[in-house]
Amino acid sequence: MNFKTVAKACVVSLLVSGPTWALAQNQINMAKGVTEVGAQIYGLHMLIFWICAVIGVAVFAVMFYSIIYHRKSRGVTPAQFHDSTQVEIIWTIIPFLILIGMAVPATSTLLEVYNTDDAEIDILITGYQWKWKYEYLDEQGDNVAFFSNLATSQEEIYNTDAKGANYLLSVDEPMVIPVDTKVRFLVTANDVIHSWWVPELAVKRDAIPGFINEAWTKVPTEGVYRGQCTELCGAYHGFMPIEVHAVSREEYDAWLAAKRSEKVAQTAAAQQALGFEELMASGEAVYRAQCSACHGAQGEGGVGNAIAGSAIALGEVAKHLEVGIKGVAGTAMQAFGGQLSDVDMAAVITYQRNAFGNNTGDIVQPADVVNHKQG
Amino acid sequence: MGAHHGPAKGMSRWLLTTNHKDIGTMYLWFSFAMFILGGAFAMVIRAELFQPGMQLVEPGFFNQMTTLHGLVMVFGAIMPSFVGLANWMIPMMIGAPDMALPRMNNWSFWILPPSFLMLASTLFMEGGAPAFGWTFYAPLSTTYAPPSVTFFIFAIHILGVSSIMGSINIIATVMNMRAPGMSYMKMPLFVWTWLITAFLLVAVMPVLAGAVTMMLMDIHFGTSFFSAAGGGDPVLFQHVFWFFGHPEVYIIILPAFGVVSQIIPAFSRKPLFGYASMVYATASIALLSFIVWAHHMYTVGMPVAGELFFMYATMLIAVPTGVKVFNWITTMWRGALSFETPMLFCLGFLVLFTLGGFTGLMLSIAPADFQYHDTYFVVAHFHYVMVAGAVFSMTAAVYYWIPKWTGRMYSESMGRIHFWVSFIGFNIAFFPQHFVGLAGMPRRIPDYSLQFADFNMMSSIGAFIYGASQLLFLYNVIVTIVAGEKVGEDKIWDGAEGLEWTVPCPAPYHTFEVPPKIDAVSAHA
């Protein structure tokens, strides 16, 4: 298979012109980009590629001519020339002129990338170890915020389940944006530096804790666009993908409205007591999304401590809540109080206290979480 | 004490030596050991990336491997190998009896092994080895670092001291110890490139020391240089690091340019074309290296004016680099070429380094870099310039000068096999990385989505081939030393020029105790 792929890559790169390069499986060129800026960047990339290719062919042609015709075994007598100021000046100036030719389109594209004016929608993107938080900023302060976690299961990653089509590239809750609308991204991070990249949108911006970077996009076609974190951000750097759904304006408005009512419902739910089964079921879902990467699918531990049989999960509820809500300073255990809803926090604490043979029988209600947060 | 006394016996010869040849030999062996160690880390990386899914190591350990691979290769393998070469060759090339500061020379070597021992020992510490990449960006390397980071900082300090001492020694030697008549513009190009490199090292190693000291303060003494919460800035770290880091990559490549500029004329049987322009091009590259650092940081959110400045400055580097490539090719033009192993590695260098230069030019274009940055395209780029650039030329240097060092000839057929296996393995390993990078695979990830699977498997196979070829290199060198055919003449290569070919093979323990006469006509090699 490998030699076939090598051969295919060679043949394709030699014979086929740029625009038809993209292969579904073994793509060998940059994504063309669905946005205007993406297309410009792709054009720039191909322009410079071809300039390099032409120079490369010329330079290597001269070199291989020498290798073939100026070899000692042909009995040639070596020339002894070794200097020419004229030639040196020529091959200093010509490359310089070529560079100016590259710099002009590069500059105009760069200015376009930096033009974040007149955006209709602002989305605050915050990088966390190892997930993204998207917050849709609202002028009235009615923001919608949610976390976007890796949807690929630990079983797929550790090869016990078959890997799905979007292995490592799908999330539980994607970012949703309307098409034909200029969307501005405000990019920052909560802990270490991350970088938010979606190749087909040609947007890559570092997410730096304490600083806010800007980027923008305007997607003309509906679709799902995927990307990944591109700045090393710790152990699970490879496991925090990005999924952007570009939808029609109507669909977007409906989605946002649904998100708002979900928020209201959550606040209401936090007032109610839930049944054990219900808490365990949603607790398991939360555990798989938020906890299992570090604490193990069966609570056996990993980067984080084991949950099964742990002193915290078997000890006082208040201490357990404290760790879940505030995290453990100086370790990878983050403060989840601001990341999970009170209902989800109650569910996952209940789940941890009753799963993996921890059978404490404790039920933690959303109200307990609220009370704990209020001290 | 006679003028021609030989080396001391036993371990004390090596521990206490102030002889440039002994110290050069130790540097070369040490760097090769580090090359094998760093290579072993690379093999772990490529084995894990052989297939999608996690198979062999955990993600955290994978990051330790990428970090240590980079650190060991840059600071342990490539840099010391060229210092070793400088130790061996610079005195012999300029007609000096030894380095100017021989005792410091001993010290600058002997602090290296403990420093790397300490760095390697972090693998066995609680919390593991540094796992934040060889570029160690804060705050991943400060607030979020494993406890072993303190040992890492100490190791960096020590090897920085070693580099600075080595550089001072080279500067002092070249400036003061040239044989009468050896003017600057008659020096072999290898000496020139090293002189310029030494100035770069003296300029930037203290900056690296500053960066790690600020890290140390942030970690242990409550400062906030790199933490926004205390009024600092994580991006400051990147500016300081790359102010060191960009000159650093030229520190690695300039001596390689010097080696190639010695070897190509020798096997073309024709003087180097454009000697003076080579010197000026090297100096221009060195100067430009100080004003391009932020091209490693196009995506951090610099103001557009800064972005444009660094883009234009970076593009300019293509000019002097192009001049060098054109000069080498013109040197070959109408020469009488032969293709012994050193020449093969130089030609491999020329082709692959030029490809790496092209991808470098592509990366300099800021808007396009938004798509390339931190992907495998960058990984492919810097392995083309670091491995096919620096390592290939270093290998060429070993084959070229080993008869002078040992008095014995390597096996030409084995050398050629080594070249072809390296060349093919290297390209299978790194060429597909351009493709996966462009297609969107980020660097430093332990697992990847399925569309990258085929090229990654190919890349791993190539890496195993390239790795194995280095064992062949080791075999070739050992066989040469113990059983190589003895060479009779001083000048082994008929086209070679330079003072090193006027001393016997093997080079005696002391050379040029009486300065040689520099022929007024015979300029540089």
Interchain CB contact of B316 with A (< 8 Å): yes
- The span from the CA of A202 to the CA of A230, in Å, is 13
% of chain A at pLDDT higher than 70: 93
H or E, element range at B406: helix B392-406
Same domain as A284, residue A195: no
Residues in B 340-369 with any Cβ partner in A closer than 8 A: 347, 350-351, 354-355, 358, 361-362, 365-368
Minimum-distance CB partner of B368 among A44, A236, A303: A44
Nearest to A241 by CA among A253, A230, A255: A230
pLDDT score of A293: 82
In this predicted structure, which of A18-22, B61-65, B355-359 has the lowest mean pLDDT?
A: A18-22
pLDDT score of B8: 81
* Pairing label, strands A175-178, A144-148: unpaired
Would residue A72 count as lying in a domain?
Answer: yes
- The span from the CA of B521 to the CA of B136, in Å, is 51
Q: Which residues of B touch A186 (CB under 8 A)?
A: none
What are the structure tokens assigned to B246, written together? Answer: 């960009």
Which of these three, A70, A86, A113, is where a domain ends? A113
Measured between alpha carbons, how far is residue B228 from residues A190, A211, A351, B141, B242 in Å?
Answer: 11, 8, 36, 15, 20
Whether pLDDT at A320 is above 80: yes
Strands (E), B471-521: 485-486
Mean local confidence (pLDDT), A332-359: 88
Same domain as A196, residue A64: no
Q: Name residue, tokens 């770290």.
A: B237
Same domain as A263, residue A167: yes
Query: What is the tally of helices (H) and strands (E) in chain A?
Result: 11, 10
Confidence of residue A13 (pLDDT cuts 50, 70, 90): very low
Residue B64 CA, distance from chain mean position = 21
Whether pLDDT at A83 is above 70: yes
Whether pLDDT at B142 is above 70: yes
Same domain as A260, residue A319: no
Interchain CB contact of A201 with B (< 8 Å): no
Instruction: Please give the domain boundaries of chain B with CATH numbers for all domains.
Output: 30-502 (1.20.210.10)
The 10s digit of each residue's pLDDT in A32-71 is 889 999 999 999 999 999 999 999 999 999 999 999 999 9
Confidence of residue A140 (pLDDT cuts 50, 70, 90): confident
Would residue A12 count as lying in a domain?
Answer: no
Contacts of A228 (CB under 8 A, 6+ apart): A168, A169, A197, A238, A240, A241, A242, B440, B442, B445
pLDDT score of A5: 56
- What type of residue sits at position A256? L
Contacts of B366 (CB under 8 A, 6+ apart): A106, A110, B295, B298, B307, B308, B310, B311
Measured between alpha carbons, how far is residue B455 from residues A4, A7, A315, B50 in Å?
Answer: 11, 12, 50, 9
Same domain as A294, residue A258: no
Average pLDDT, chain B: 94
- What type of residue sits at position B218? D
SS3 (DSSP) at B477: helix
The 10s digit of each residue's pLDDT in B198-245 is 999 999 999 999 999 999 999 999 999 999 989 999 999 999 999 999
- The span from the CA of B344 to the CA of B349, in Å, is 8
Which of these three, A79, A113, A147, is where a domain ends? A113
Same domain as A77, residue A136: no
pLDDT top residue among A301 and B232: B232
Minimum-distance CB partner of B439 among A27, A67, A229: A27
pLDDT score of A9: 53
Would residue A335 count as lying in a domain?
Answer: yes
pLDDT score of A3: 52
Substitution target from B189, B295, B337 for chain A, most A beta carbons within 10 A: B337
pLDDT score of A15: 41
Q: Which domain holds residue A55?
A: 31-113
- What type of residue sits at position B1? M
Interchain CB contact of A319 with B (< 8 Å): no
Neighbours of B455 (CB within 10 A): 28
Among this protein's residues, is B4 annotated catalytic?
Answer: no
% of chain B at pLDDT higher than 90: 94
Same domain as A255, residue A317: no
- The span from the CA of A200 to the CA of A183, in Å, is 15
Same domain as A263, residue A220: yes
- The span from the CA of B410 to the CA of B309, in Å, is 49
Confidence of residue B6 (pLDDT cuts 50, 70, 90): confident
B333–A66 C-beta distance less than 8 A: yes
Interchain CB contact of A56 with B (< 8 Å): yes
Among this protein's residues, is B98 annotated catalytic?
Answer: yes
The total domain count for chain A is 3
pLDDT score of B522: 52
Same domain as A35, residue A150: no
> Domain with A57 in it: what CATH number?
1.10.287.90
Confidence of residue A266 (pLDDT cuts 50, 70, 90): confident
- The span from the CA of B484 to the CA of B497, in Å, is 23
- The span from the CA of A200 to the CA of B470, in Å, is 40
Would residue A358 count as lying in a domain?
Answer: yes
Same domain as A163, residue A220: yes
Q: Contact B514/B436 with Cβ under 8 angstroms? A: no
The 10s digit of each residue's pLDDT in B372-385 is 999 999 999 999 99
Same domain as A255, residue A297: no
Interchain CB contact of A66 with B (< 8 Å): yes
In this predicted structure, which of A342-346, B116-120, B251-255 has the lowest mean pLDDT?
A: A342-346
Residues in B 290-309 with any Cβ partner in A closer than 8 A: 299-301, 304, 307-308
Q: Which residues of B touch A229 (CB under 8 A)?
A: 442
Q: In A114-237, which residue ranges form alpha helices assigned H by DSSP? A: 154-157
State ipTM.
Answer: 0.92
Q: Contact A279/A355 with Cβ under 8 angstroms? A: no
Among this protein's residues, is B268 annotated catalytic?
Answer: no
Would residue A178 count as lying in a domain?
Answer: yes
% of chain B at pLDDT higher than 70: 98
The 10s digit of each residue's pLDDT in B161-175 is 999 999 999 999 999
- The span from the CA of A355 to the CA of A294, in Å, is 16
Phi-psi sector, B244: left (phi>0), alpha (psi -120 to 50), beta = alpha
Would residue A18 count as lying in a domain?
Answer: no
B438–A28 C-beta distance less than 8 A: yes
Q: Name residue, tokens 């949703």.
A: A176
DSSP B2: -
- What type of residue sits at position B129? A
- The span from the CA of B291 to the CA of A348, in Å, is 52
Phi and psi, residue B183, nearest 5°: -75, 165
H or E, element range at A13: helix A2-15
Minimum-distance CB partner of A59 among B235, B325, B336: B325
The 10s digit of each residue's pLDDT in A186-218 is 999 999 999 999 999 999 999 999 999 999 999
Q: Name residue, tokens 């330790």.
A: B64
Interchain CB contact of A67 with B (< 8 Å): yes
- The span from the CA of A228 to the CA of A237, in Å, is 9
- What type of residue sits at position B12? S
Measured between alpha carbons, how far is residue A322 from residues A317, A319, A348, B376 in Å?
Answer: 9, 5, 13, 41
Contacts of A299 (CB under 8 A, 6+ apart): A306, A307, A308, A352, A355, A356, A358
Which of these three, A234, A267, A300, is where a domain ends? A267
- The span from the CA of A122 to the CA of A141, in Å, is 12
pLDDT score of A1: 44
- What type of residue sits at position B381? H
Same domain as A258, residue A232: yes
Mean local confidence (pLDDT), A160-186: 94
Substitution target from A89, A94, A191, A193 for chain B, most B beta carbons within 10 A: A193
- The span from the CA of A276 to the CA of A269, in Å, is 15
pLDDT score of B1: 38
Cα atoms found within 13 Å of the Cα of residue B240, Cβ hemisphere only: 21
pLDDT score of A4: 54
Cα atoms found within 13 Å of the Cα of residue A304, Cβ hemisphere only: 24
Residue of A nearest to B230 (CA): A210
The 10s digit of each residue's pLDDT in B386-439 is 999 999 999 999 999 999 999 999 999 999 999 999 999 999 999 999 999 999
The 10s digit of each residue's pLDDT in B10-67 is 888 999 999 999 999 999 999 999 999 999 999 999 999 999 999 999 999 999 999 9
pLDDT score of B227: 92
Q: Exposure string (b/e) for A4-21, b if CB count within 10 Å is 16 or more?
A: ebbeebeebeeeeebeeb
β-bridge partners, A147: A133
Q: Measured between alpha carbons, how far apart are the two ends of chain A, in Å?
A: 62
pLDDT score of A19: 36
